[in-house]
Amino acid sequence: MKLLHKLLPGSLTTIISLLCFCASAQSADIKVLASVALTAALDDLAPVYEKKTENKLTLGYGLSAELKKRVADGEAADLIILTRPMMEDLEHQGKVAAGSLVDLVGTPVAVVARAGAPKPDISSVDALKRTLLAARSIVYADPAKGGLSGVYFAKVIDRLGIADQLKNKTILVPGAQAPEVVAKGEAELGVAQGSEIVPVAGTQLVGPLPGELASTTVFTGGIGAASKSPEATKTLIQFLTGSEAISRLKTKGFEPSPPRG
């Protein structure tokens, strides 16, 4: 090495500098904005992706309606993950790169009870109605705040004709806190995305809403129109739809999104 320094001192320094530059040029900072329902899953997957690629992820979560507004108002992100209709609207507005939308995963709107409690019967629409009427208290996301499961469940209880009967025993939370409220014993039952229930200790996922009331929220990713790292973001999307990520996502209450026909 000393001989090489003597022979090519300037060249060696240049080569080392170029190698360092190339290594750093291969890494990228990727900002992700995603629905709060994906928090546990992405927090788990981020270090795996970063180790594989040396790219750095900055993760931001929020209620889908709030995030959509932030992006529509001009907030930039490399990868945005919201519901398909929201992403299509942002693509139409020119906030998401045209043709970049990819359905990633889905999770059902489900019922949560405290771990160890008798599992309530939600095997049919009628059984769910009886269970809700018999419950001492119920918690779900405040529809006025835009939480996806709360917006949907409010329509469910209207459809069942029991909104007035549940009103006085309903607890509304601003976001994805319903499973935590159930785990603490502050509500007997809750309704949330399956992916919001599974990671919370002290809860049991009773099951998805039954029959014609069943609803699966599909989360779609898209590359921000102002992304400074579109190619790196594509590798992140590929990772999230790959077998390793899918196997981890299943443990968090997600299922692979079926191909669009």
What pLDDT digit, counting tens, does each position of 204-253 carry? 999 999 999 999 999 999 999 999 999 999 999 999 999 999 999 999 99
Q: What's the rounded Cα separation, in Å, for the pair 43 and 80?
A: 15
What pLDDT digit, counting tens, does each position of 18-59 carry? 344 344 446 899 999 999 989 999 999 999 999 999 999 999
The domain locations on the chain are: 29-106+217-256, 108-216
Top CATH class, 29-106+217-256? alpha beta
pLDDT above 90 (res 10) = no
pLDDT confidence of residue 26: 67
Domain 29-106+217-256 and domain 108-216, same fold? Reply is yes
pLDDT above 60 (res 11) = no
- Residue 39, classed as helix, strand or coil, is helix
pLDDT confidence of residue 240: 96
DSSP track, 134-194: H-S-EEEE-GGGT-HHHHHHHHHHHHHT-HHHHGGGEEEESSS-HHHHHHTTS-SEEEEEH
Q: How confident is the model at residue 108 (pLDDT cuts 50, 70, 90)?
A: very high
Q: What is the mean pLDDT of residues 169-190?
A: 96
pLDDT above 70 (res 16) = no
Q: What is the mean pLDDT of residues 53-76?
A: 95
What pLDDT digit, counting tens, does each position of 119-164 carry? 999 999 999 999 999 999 999 999 998 888 999 999 999 999 999 9
What pLDDT digit, counting tens, does each position of 188-203 carry? 999 999 999 999 999 9
- Phi and psi dihedrals of 132, rounded to 5? -65, -40
Which is more confident, 226 or 257? 226
Tell me the fold of 108-216: D-Maltodextrin-Binding Protein; domain 2 (3.40.190)
